[in-house]
Amino acid sequence: MALLSIELLRRLEQFQLLAARRSKSTAKGERRSKARGQSVEFADYRNYVAGDDFRRLDWNLYGRLDKLFLKLYEEERELPVRILLDASESMTFGTPPKFDFARQVAAAVGYVALCGFDRVGVHIFPELDPAAPGAEAAALSAEMAARGGVRAVRGRKSALEFFQNLSQLTARGAGDLNEGLRRGALASRQTGVAVVLSDFLDPAGYEAGLNALISRGFQVNAIQILAPEELNPPAYGDLRLVDAETGALQEVTFGKYRLKAYQQTVRNFCQRLREFCQGRGVSFFSVSSETSLEDLLLKQLRQSEVWG
């Protein structure tokens, strides 16, 4: 499966992720940092002290003030980009599946970051159970290798392998959104931009997980992905519903009046999530898995200054 078209990749190459806060990473890159070092971007002066490099003295200023001052420059650092990808069983739902759309968005975000020489790390949750029996063990081993391959990536030359590993990922198992986001926040040595890709449909909520990222210092972007069938169920009558993650059964009678109540419940849920994010400085987007990828990437994210 080709995650992104050649034409879309060429358009994404024109973008760069926009960080409201300067990078604190210790690795050199192309981002401005509060650190002072060697670059062409002037930052400030300080008084000369014995042992400083004479080549960095401002002799013009010395001629006017008869005092020695050292020129300081902005150090360029890379921006750590953390993609938190929900790979729970519920993400397999829908036509097209939510997980397919999420992987495409992850590929796009990662590609923009890699073209900007930023470091990309994908945290996938829930974690896999390594104790798989029989024939499933080989597939599980390949999946774990793919997850390891997207854990830390840097440089545009790594893009092809990055895409290949994303293509091998699958969604399975019962998720714990709050725990997944919390672990993703704690696993990062340095903070930067975080992009959360999930349906956010967890009975335990999403508040604790998003707060973990915020309190850690990430600039958070939350992208909620819902299936068309979740927004507008096509079925009526007596239904037997199966929870994708737990297997629990629920028999319901689903008529037109209940459909309206359901749709209002979904709207209320999405609105509460949006308000929670906006109240904490989190950029929030809610899309259907059948949304045009170009509309989200080239229009919505650009207008909201996720990148530009």
Q: DSSP letter string over 211-254?
A: HHHHHHT-EEEEEEEE-HHHHS----EEEEEE-TTT--EEEEEE
The answer to whether residue 1 sits within a structural domain is no
Question: Worst-scoring range by mean pLDDT, 79-93, 117-131, 178-192?
Answer: 117-131
The answer to whether residue 197 sits within a structural domain is yes
Q: Say whether pLDDT at 23 is over 90.
A: no
> What pLDDT is attached to residue 29?
47
> What pLDDT is attached to residue 22?
45
What share of the chain has pLDDT > 90, as a percent?
59
Among candidate residues 239, 242, 237, the one with its CA nearest the CA of residue 256: 237
The predicted-structure confidence for 168-195, as pLDDT tens digits, reads as follows: 999 998 889 999 999 999 998 889 999 9
- Whether 146 and 57 map to the same domain: the answer is no
pTM of the model: 0.81
- State the residue range of the domain holding 188: 6-23+78-303
The answer to whether residue 51 sits within a structural domain is yes
Termini Cα distance of the chain: 27
Which tops the pLDDT comparison, 25 or 101?
A: 101
The answer to whether residue 19 sits within a structural domain is yes
- Whether 166 and 108 map to the same domain: the answer is yes
The answer to whether residue 201 sits within a structural domain is yes
Q: How confident is the model at residue 52 (pLDDT cuts 50, 70, 90)?
A: confident
The answer to whether residue 162 sits within a structural domain is yes
**SS3 for 200?**
coil
- Whether 184 and 107 map to the same domain: the answer is yes
Across the range 120-129, mean pLDDT stands at 93
The answer to whether residue 308 sits within a structural domain is no
Chosen domain end from 76, 92, 107: 76
* Strand stretches in the chain, DSSP E: 28-47, 69-77, 80-86, 119-125, 153-154, 193-198, 219-226, 237-242, 249-254, 283-288
- Whether 146 and 126 map to the same domain: the answer is yes
- Whether 46 and 194 map to the same domain: the answer is no
> What pLDDT is attached to residue 63?
86
Q: Say whether pLDDT at 254 is over 80.
A: no
- Whether 149 and 293 map to the same domain: the answer is yes
- Whether 219 and 96 map to the same domain: the answer is yes
Which tops the pLDDT comparison, 116 or 213?
A: 213
Structure tokens at 31: 């981002």
- Whether 208 and 91 map to the same domain: the answer is yes
Q: What are phi and psi of 65, to 5 degrees?
A: -110, -10
Q: How confident is the model at residue 199 (pLDDT cuts 50, 70, 90)?
A: very high
Across the range 90-110, mean pLDDT stands at 97
The answer to whether residue 86 sits within a structural domain is yes
> What pLDDT is attached to residue 28?
47
- Residue 19: CATH number of its domain: 3.40.50.410
- Whether 50 and 158 map to the same domain: the answer is no
- Whether 253 and 178 map to the same domain: the answer is yes
Q: Say whether pLDDT at 33 is over 50.
A: no
- Whether 56 and 129 map to the same domain: the answer is no
Total domains in the fold of the chain: 2
Across the range 193-217, mean pLDDT stands at 97
- Whether 173 and 186 map to the same domain: the answer is yes
> Residue 147, exposed/middle/buried by CB under 10 A (0-12, 13-18, 19+)?
buried
Chosen domain end from 60, 76, 92: 76
Which tops the pLDDT comparison, 51 or 162?
A: 162
